[in-house]
Amino acid sequence: MIVELKGVTKLFPGVKALDNVDLTIRSGEILGLIGENGAGKSTLMKILSGVYANGTYEGQITIDGTPVAFSSPSDAESHGVAIIHQELSTFPDLTVAENLFVGHWPKAASGMVDWQRLNQMAQTWLDTVGAPCRADEKIGDLSIGTQQLIEIAKALSRQSKVLILDEPTSSLTPTESAKLFQLLRDLRLQGKAMVYISHKMEEIFALCDRLTVLRDGQTVCSFMTTETNPDGLIEHMVGRAIQNIYPPAPKRKFGNPILELNEYRARLPERAIVLGPLSFQIRAGEIFGIGGLLGAGRTELVKAIFGDETAEQLGGEVRFLDEVVKFLTPQAALRRGLSYVSEDRKGESILPERSLIENAGISRLAVFFRGLRINHTGETERARTRLGELSTKHSSLDQSISQLSGGNQQKVIIARAMDTDAKLIILDEPTRGIDVKAKSEIYEIIFQLATQGRSILMISSDLPELMALSDRIAMMREGQLMGILAREQFSQVALMQLAVGNARKEAMA
């Protein structure tokens, strides 16, 4: 089976998102769809999966030479095309089985749902994809990785022949990712066609047979994976040769300690994790990295320091600028010169539909502004300067932040954090889900901030990134600090050993 998209053009108000794009998808093959954020990958896949209905774009989709026109996602699904979104769309309070067959529940003679058959059918599909869960568990209680497998099971149960996976590993642990890859390879053998969208080079090269690169809404090239290498691919993506996405770390002199934790212990009841005792200090101008696996308690730690209402301090102390502090609200932390960029851009950072000016300026206004009337001109100029420094791509400062790509949204949020003149900026996974070029720009910004004498506390799950940026790295595991390494001691092996803990180290030795 061959699915072809020909001459696809999609216009948004003021932007040409796709410009005459061609794409071929074959059964028994994993096609990697590569491109920076904003290159048009998601838009293209939304067209293929019926999210953008036929008629809202130009161009032609054919399956085995027969033209098709999808009016909705369910229409596309009935033609065998299913999409698994980056952000899963499950019903968290329903069971796995209910989620799998949502809307297609088998009915008994009485007209009621036949629960026994439902659970049996579901279990068969769960076994097919190797999801480690029971059919009658509530889906919200399962890990993201398992939920992802269930989404795939759902697509398979509806006889999908084409599976579109949009950054499926962005929230998965390495074990979960490995499991997913094995499943995708099995599906390939069964003759399914797959489109795989990802920014992670290792994954792309390990998994995909063929690659198509999009840039600025156009097809740049298409080739077999064996014909290229990561450097070559990045060059095609950004349209220029990038030797290294990590800029060199600038020389800095570190000043006095800005943040200091002494035997700090805390608990976040909502997350059922106990932190510490933890001790470390961050000096002025230093970039301090915190690494670890998902669930290590890194985000919980910085939130507890930054004034999470639900956090409960159990002991020890936090010193900030030479004073013992205990921030009860983010507002208090911001006032003293700490700022925080969340890992969850959509849920905890952006004010959707509001303008860039409002998004960039909200923290400074909320915390420091004392006057009666906001000076609109001054505010606009401030946003213009800030976003200019960060070279944000936007058509107008009045446009809604929702219209920007992920990387540019993140820059606006960093502008917000800079705007309060913070001494220490906490960046939680600042480059998650953004493209190579924007990543590189954000690294530059981080170095710039450190050169100005600000301290950075950066959490990242991307070890190469953490090693390239940090002056020191602390590795956490299950709420504990496993060790702090200085730059000369950095190596992926050493850091991973700390992240997985001693037990594993002994087993390896």
Partner 1 sequence: MKSKMGTFAQKNGAWIGLFGLSFIFLILTHGEFGSARNLTNLLLQATINGILAAGMTLVIITSGIDLSVGSLVAITGIVAGIAQLNWHFIDLGYTGAWLSVGVAVLVGLACGAISGLLTALLGVNPFIITLGMMVIARGGAMILSGGATLSPMSDQLGKFSDSYLPRVPSLALVLLFLLCLIWVNRKQWQNLIFPALLLAAFAYAFYGYRGLPVFVVFLVVVAALSSFWLNSTVFGRSIYAIGSNQRAAYWAGVRIKRTLFWVYTIMGAFAGLAGVLLCSRLNSADPNAGNLFELDAIAAAVIGGTSLRGGSGTVTGSLIGALIMAALNNGMDLLGISSFYQMVLKGVIIIVAVALDSSQRQKI
- For the segment 409-468, give every residue that binds partner 1 (CB under 8 A): 416, 420
Handedness of CA 196, 200, 201, 205 (dihedral sign): negative
Q: Which of 3, 32, 33 is nearest to 18 (CA)?
A: 33
Please, what is the minimum distance in Å from the beta carbon of residue 59 to partner 1? 19
For partner 1, the binding residue among 373, 493, 503, 507 (CB under 8 A) is 373
Q: Is 502 helix (H, G, I), strand (E, B) or coil?
A: helix
Residue (178 or 366) nearer to partner 1, CB? 366
Token duo for residue 486: 């200085």
Establish if 330 lies at the interface with partner 1 (CB under 8 A). Answer: yes
CA 331 to each of CA 151, 299, 328, 350: distance values in angstroms, whole numbers, following the listed order: 39, 18, 8, 17
Q: Which span (19-27, 91-99, 323-331, 462-470) binds partner 1, by CB under 8 A?
A: 323-331
CA distance 85 to 12: 21
Establish if 362 lies at the interface with partner 1 (CB under 8 A). Answer: yes
Establish if 378 lies at the interface with partner 1 (CB under 8 A). Answer: no
Q: At what angle do helices 436-451 and 406-418 cross, to 10 degrees?
A: 10
Burial class (CB in 10 A: 0-12, 13-18, 19+), 493: exposed
Residue (320 or 443) nearer to partner 1, CB? 320
- For the segment 387-416, give every residue that binds partner 1 (CB under 8 A): 416
Residue (186 or 348) nearer to partner 1, CB? 348
For partner 1, the binding residue among 1, 113, 367, 494 (CB under 8 A) is 367
Residue (2 or 366) nearer to partner 1, CB? 366
Residue (123 or 363) nearer to partner 1, CB? 363
Contact by Cβ (8 Å): 208, 196: yes
Q: Which of 39, 114, 129, 121 is nearest to 84 (CA)?
A: 129
Residue (251 or 373) nearer to partner 1, CB? 373
- Per 3-state DSSP, what percentage of the chain is helix, strand, and coil (rounded to 5)? 40, 25, 35
Token duo for residue 467: 């090693």
Please, what is the minimum distance in Å from the beta carbon of residue 259 to partner 1? 18
Residue (166 or 379) nearer to partner 1, CB? 379
Please, what is the minimum distance in Å from the beta carbon of residue 378 to partner 1? 12
Q: Which residues bind partner 1 (CB under 8 A)?
A: 13, 306, 329-331, 333-335, 340, 342, 347-354, 358, 361-363, 365-367, 369, 372-374, 376, 416, 420
